[in-house]
Amino acid sequence: MMLSMLYGVGIAFFGFVLHTSVAGINRKISGRLQKRYGPKWYQEFLDIFKLLSKRATSHGWIFDFGVIMALGGIIATAMFIPVTNNFLAFPDFDNFFIFAYLIAVGMLGMAMSASGSGNPLASIGVMRALTTMLAYDIPYMVVIVTIIKLTGTSSISGLALYQQAAGNNWFIVALPLGAIVAVLALMAGLGKKPFETYIAPAEIASGPLVEYGGKQLGMLFIMMEITHFIEVSLFVNLFLGGAENIFIFLVKYFAVYTALSLISNVYARFKIDQVVLFFYKWPLLIAIVQGFIAIYLGWVI
């Protein structure tokens, strides 16, 4: 048990290092896209360690405790991620709903801490973040439940093995409409451009992060990197057929994240009501149509 726990923390650390590097490379790529030289690929590491080396102000114990709760909750979620078929800490506990529930602990910790700062912009940011979550989670869940109904398992590594056993028949091909919904939901989950309403640096001064500086901000940056790792690896496992070995995982992970950040580079930001209306109009409709086609008509490519 103790060894599995250490293994799990190792997976969380692996996710942190992997995502921070991939995000740094993507900053370079988007720099080149804008005809700039771009920062160093390890710039995100420098940013995080710089923040951890600074002195920080506290706004009461809820403010400090919420940050620790957010980081702890996200590390606890990342422990269950199956990276490849064999590289996972808890083989029987990687049910999809574990992630759906545990990831909320980290988010709520951050929300509690941001509200504890007493800044009105932080409250607006938290409210927008939770509204966005409500908007993209419902279409996403419809697609996931369709997949679970089709395969009869809700274990993430089980789903990955199912896709590999069917001759690499990935769900991104088998359920193309559902994959579109999942990509949109993933963009919203990662806070990519059309849906990054809750960060909005010029409008609400980076939203939930408005009062953080120094160590607390550094811990929240680590938390966000691990959150993005969880979301992207869930997509890789659910729609791209998981990975037999670590190299395939790295390639798929890099491809998914780079594609999303390239798309996000050409978009402007939605307003919060546009985000909610968009997700309840098109992705929800597409997800329900996909579920109907796949389950009742049985048209799975």
Partner 1 sequence: MKSTKFSELSQEQVDRKWWEIGDFFRRNSLWMLMYCTGCCAIELPPAMTSAYDMERLGMGPMATPRQADILLVSGYLSLKTLRRLIYTYEQMSEPKYVVGLGSCTINGGIYHDSHAVINQLDQYVPVDVYVAGCMPNTEAVMNGFVDLMDAIKHKTANGWKKYRDNYDWYRQNQIASLGEVEVHDEFHE
**What b/e readout covers 241-267, taking b as 16+ CB neighbours within 10 angstroms?**
bbbeeeeebeebbbebbeebbeebeee
DSSP string of 195-263? G-TTT-HHHHTTGGGTT--THHHHHHHHHHHHHHHHHHHHHHHHHS---SSHHHHHHHHHHHHHHHHHH
Q: Considering the rule CB under 8 A, would residue 210 count as an interface residue with partner 1?
A: yes
Among 5, 6, 46, 134, binds partner 1 (CB under 8 A): 46
d(CA 249, CA 225): 17
d(CA 208, CA 226): 17
Q: Tokens 């403010």 belong to which residue?
A: 63
Among 13, 49, 247, 299, binds partner 1 (CB under 8 A): 49
Instruction: Tell me how far apart the terminal alpha carbons of the chain are, to the nearest angstrom.
Output: 41
What is the x/- site pattern for partner 1, positions 1-40, by CB under 8 A?
--------------------------x---x--xxxxxxx
Q: Considering the rule CB under 8 A, would residue 206 count as an interface residue with partner 1?
A: yes
Identify which range of 43-51, 97-105, 141-149, 170-178 contacts partner 1 by CB under 8 A: 43-51
Identify which range of 41-49, 139-147, 231-239, 255-263 contacts partner 1 by CB under 8 A: 41-49
Give the shortest CB-36-to-partner 1 separation in angstroms.
4
DSSP summary character for residue 200: -
Q: Considering the rule CB under 8 A, would residue 201 count as an interface residue with partner 1?
A: yes
Give the shortest CB-37-to-partner 1 separation in angstroms.
4
Q: Considering the rule CB under 8 A, would residue 293 count as an interface residue with partner 1?
A: no
Residues near partner 1, by CB under 8 A? 27, 31, 34-40, 43, 46-47, 49-50, 53-57, 201-202, 205-206, 209-214, 217
